[in-house]
Amino acid sequence: MNCRMDNSTIEQKKHTILLIEDNEVDQKAFIRLIKDQDLPYACTIAASISEARSILGREAFDVIITDYSLGDGTSFDILDFVNNTPIIVITGTEGVVINSPKVHVCDSLIKDIERNYLKVLPGAIEKAIRQKRGENRS
């Protein structure tokens, strides 16, 4: 699923985001967040690990946001495909930590029923992008 948001009246750099989320309601909530806050994100959505692997094989992203637990695996199953792209893990389980020398997990957020995690997600995305830019300068 592709949720590219284009606003021709505003010239700003769009950050490319891959959202890996199998819950359709959560996918729509993220799209609504982008629209409601007029965020500069060009978003691609993968509903499974296998779909995410396929997308990552042909596209690069500024940030990957992934649900920890998906129908065909966990966020651990994409680690070999991320190519130094910062990852934000959304999980319904406290204490899930991804730590690997191959990837840069910038943040992990707890997915709550009220979707309050969406309020802090734009800040986490901007933090991940800033950190990636800092790494690229060295």
Q: Tell me the average confidence (pLDDT) per consecutive run of 10 residues in the chain, 138 residues long.
A: 44 84 94 95 96 94 92 86 86 60 62 86 90 64
3-state helix, strand, coil in the chain (%, to 5): 35, 25, 40
The domains of the chain, with CATH numbers, are 2-137 (3.40.50.2300)
What pLDDT does residue 102 have? 47
pTM over 0.85: no
Question: Closest Cα to residue 67, out of 128, 4, 126, 23?
Answer: 23
- As beta bridge partners, residue 20 has 46, 66
Q: How far is CA 48 from CA 25, 78, 90, in A?
A: 15, 10, 14
3-state secondary structure of 92: coil
Element (DSSP H or E) covering residue 96:
none
